[in-house]
């Protein structure tokens, strides 16, 4: 089979083989750390914490950390503080001139921005770590599970360990990016999500088969729907709108010679240029309504807000969630797709869109195209994000298994898998082997 032959070719490339082995080793270290419980906590009495993080917002957070949150692990905060810091720095880059200057300085500026992100990550951890430790007794860990008590020494040592755990996870991700196959931070998140997949599927299987709740037929139907959602996610991640571009150069007579390359080139504009970031933005904000509801106390408004916005499968939660995703898709696309710069680059290289004047008209045209393709892309993204709630209501799927029918979990898995395959594909094509993906012309393997 061609796929098996391709895998054999992977191991023929020493550099690629070493990168894959290093990546797998570092991911194994990360997964091992997720099982190491904080010193001073009895690991045998964490059942209550696991039960309280089975579903809801805490269940989603636990999925992103690969179960480390429910294990009271040294990696309990996961890599999410680094993601939050990256988002904050990226957004501040719009308004702060210093960061805008760094973005234009190339590699040296990127290193300074990375250093700022690391320091901000530590700051976020110093805020999140005490909150996590203070919430442990309320999440089902009995007082006797704290072997050394919950005094100042426990908090001091645990905060240092939790912050160090996140910094170490961040270091692992950067090493995978530099020395492994790339996408280190994303791979850490994906591995944590996949770690919960077998357990959640077995729970669903037990609920369907052993409890006579649909049996194998329902399991088969669910798997078919799951595969269809994966295909839809792939289409969303890889979908592009191609804009024809021609090139011209000034001739000796002062005129222009068109079609320098002999044929039209194409400018690919992605259907979903923002990736999974709108969902992450929206997910972070969806923690706020429940907290606001608590501030209203036990009154009618407070109770309603706590009830509606603490259930990730509830109606109003998903309506607001979908609207926020659409809004943030437009927002994130606007700040990450510089149509003005694209138009200027085309003009400097002698490129033009047929029928459109170079310069400001090209920028306006590209902005119009991006607006047109972002609308269906954002709606499709919102539908995939809220599909877990739909599948729970229609088919009574277990909460943990339902999270893999869409939302951030599935999109991260699909997006990272495609990026990783493209990384491996580039190594294979550079060595004149057939790649894992159909890109470009097939190349014959050489000895």
Residue in the block written with tokens 């119009």: 368
Distance CA 384, CA 393 (A): 15
Cα–Cα nearest to 336, from 79, 80, 82, 87 = 87
pLDDT at residue 274 tops 50: yes
- 338-392 pLDDT tens trace: 788 888 888 887 778 888 888 888 888 888 888 888 888 889 889 988 888 888 8
pLDDT at residue 256 tops 60: no
Distance CA 40, CA 143 (A): 11
In this prediction, residue 106 carries a pLDDT of 75
In this prediction, residue 264 carries a pLDDT of 62
Q: What is the mean pLDDT of residues 13-23?
A: 85
Within this chain, domains 1-208+431-447 and 214-395 share the same CATH topology: yes
In this prediction, residue 299 carries a pLDDT of 76
pLDDT at residue 305 tops 50: yes
Distance CA 75, CA 427 (A): 32
Residue spans of the domains in the chain: they are: 1-208+431-447, 214-395
Residue in the block written with tokens 């914490």: 49
For the CA atoms of 86, 88, 94, 95, what is the dihedral angle to 10 degrees? -140
pTM: 0.76
Beta carbons of 166 and 184 less than 8 angstroms apart = no
Distance CA 165, CA 58 (A): 20
> According to the 3-state scheme, what is the secondary structure of 41-74?
ECHHHCHHHHHHCCCHHHHHHHHHCCCCCCCCEC
The CATH number fitting domain 214-395, selected from 2.40.30.170, 1.10.3720.10, 1.10.3370.10, 3.40.1210.10: 1.10.3370.10
Question: What's the fold here for domain 1-208+431-447?
Answer: Preprotein translocase SecY subunit (1.10.3370)
Distance CA 255, CA 63 (A): 61
Beta carbons of 270 and 240 less than 8 angstroms apart = yes
Residue 138, Cβ density class (10 Å: 0-12 exposed, 13-18 middle, ≥19 buried): exposed
Cα–Cα nearest to 196, from 386, 29, 69 = 69
Distance CA 350, CA 355 (A): 15
Beta carbons of 192 and 396 less than 8 angstroms apart = no
Indicate the pLDDT class of residue 51, thresholds 50, 70 and 90. confident
What is the number of other CB atoms lying within 10 angstroms of the CB of residue 108?
9
Q: What is the mean pLDDT of residues 188-193?
A: 84
Q: What is the mean pLDDT of residues 150-154?
A: 85
Q: What is the mean pLDDT of residues 218-227?
A: 89
Residue in the block written with tokens 């109606």: 315
Q: In sequence order, what are the residues at sequence separation of 6 or more whose Cβ sits closer than 8 angstroms to the Cβ of residue 332?
A: 273, 274, 277, 278, 281
pLDDT at residue 119 tops 90: yes
Distance CA 279, CA 323 (A): 11
pLDDT at residue 260 tops 60: no
Sign of the torsion angle spanned by Cα atoms 110, 114, 115, 120: positive
- 67-99 pLDDT tens trace: 888 888 999 998 888 888 887 887 787 778 888
Q: What is the mean pLDDT of residues 30-48?
A: 87
Cα–Cα nearest to 412, from 111, 101, 183 = 183
Hey, is 265 helix, strand or coil? strand
The pair of structure tokens assigned to 404 is 């893999």
Rg of the chain (C-alpha set): 25
In this prediction, residue 195 carries a pLDDT of 82
């Amino acid at each position: 089979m061609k796929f098996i032959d391709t895998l054999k070719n992977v191991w023929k490339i020493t550099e690629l083989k070493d990168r894959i082995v290093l990546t797998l080793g570092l991911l194994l270290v990360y997964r091992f750390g997720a099982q190491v419980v904080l010193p001073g906590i009895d690991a045998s009495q964490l059942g209550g914490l696991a039960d309280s993080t089975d579903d809801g917002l805490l269940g989603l957070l636990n999925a992103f950390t690969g179960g480390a949150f429910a294990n009271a692990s040294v990696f309990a905060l996961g890599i999410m503080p680094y993601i939050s810091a990256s988002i904050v720095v990226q957004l501040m880059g719009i308004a702060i001139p210093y960061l805008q200057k760094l973005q234009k300085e190339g590699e040296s500026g990127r290193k300074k921005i990375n250093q700022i992100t690391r320091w901000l990550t530590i700051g976020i951890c110093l805020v999140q770590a005490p909150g996590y430790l203070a919430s442990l007794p309320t999440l089902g860990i009995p007082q006797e599970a704290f072997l050394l008590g919950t005094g100042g020494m426990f908090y001091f040592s645990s905060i240092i360990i939790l912050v160090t755990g996140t910094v170490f996870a961040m270091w692992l991700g950067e090493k995978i990016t530099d020395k492994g196959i790339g996408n280190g931070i994303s791979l850490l998140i994906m591995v944590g999500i996949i770690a919960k997949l077998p357990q959640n599927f077995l729970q669903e299987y037990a609920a369907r088969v052993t409890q006579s709740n649909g049996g194998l037929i329902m399991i088969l139907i669910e798997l078919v729907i799951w595969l269809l959602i994966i295909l839809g996610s792939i289409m969303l991640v890889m979908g592009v709108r191609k804009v024809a571009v021609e090139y011209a150069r000034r001739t000796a007579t002062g005129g222009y010679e068109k079609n320098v390359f002999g044929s039209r080139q194409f400018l690919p504009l992605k259907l979903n240029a923002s990736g999974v970031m709108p969902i992450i933005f929206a997910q972070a904000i969806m923690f706020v309504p429940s907290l606001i509801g608590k501030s209203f106390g036990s009154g009618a408004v407070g109770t309603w807000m706590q009830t509606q916005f603490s259930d990730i499968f509830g109606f109003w939660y998903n309506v607001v969630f979908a609207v926020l995703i659409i809004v943030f898709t437009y927002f994130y696309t606007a700040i990450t797709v510089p149509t003005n710069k694209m138009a200027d680059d085309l003009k400097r290289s002698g490129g033009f869109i047929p029928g459109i004047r170079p310069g400001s008209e090209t920028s306006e045209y590209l902005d119009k195209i991006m607006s047109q393709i972002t609308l269906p892309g954002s709606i499709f993204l919102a539908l995939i994000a809220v599909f877990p709630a739909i599948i729970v209501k229609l088919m009574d799927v277990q909460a943990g298994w339902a999270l893999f029918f869409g939302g951030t979990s599935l999109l991260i898995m699909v997006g990272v898998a495609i990026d990783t395959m493209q990384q491996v594909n580039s190594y294979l094509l550079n060595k004149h082997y057939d790649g894992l993906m159909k890109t470009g012309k097939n190349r014959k393997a050489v000895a």
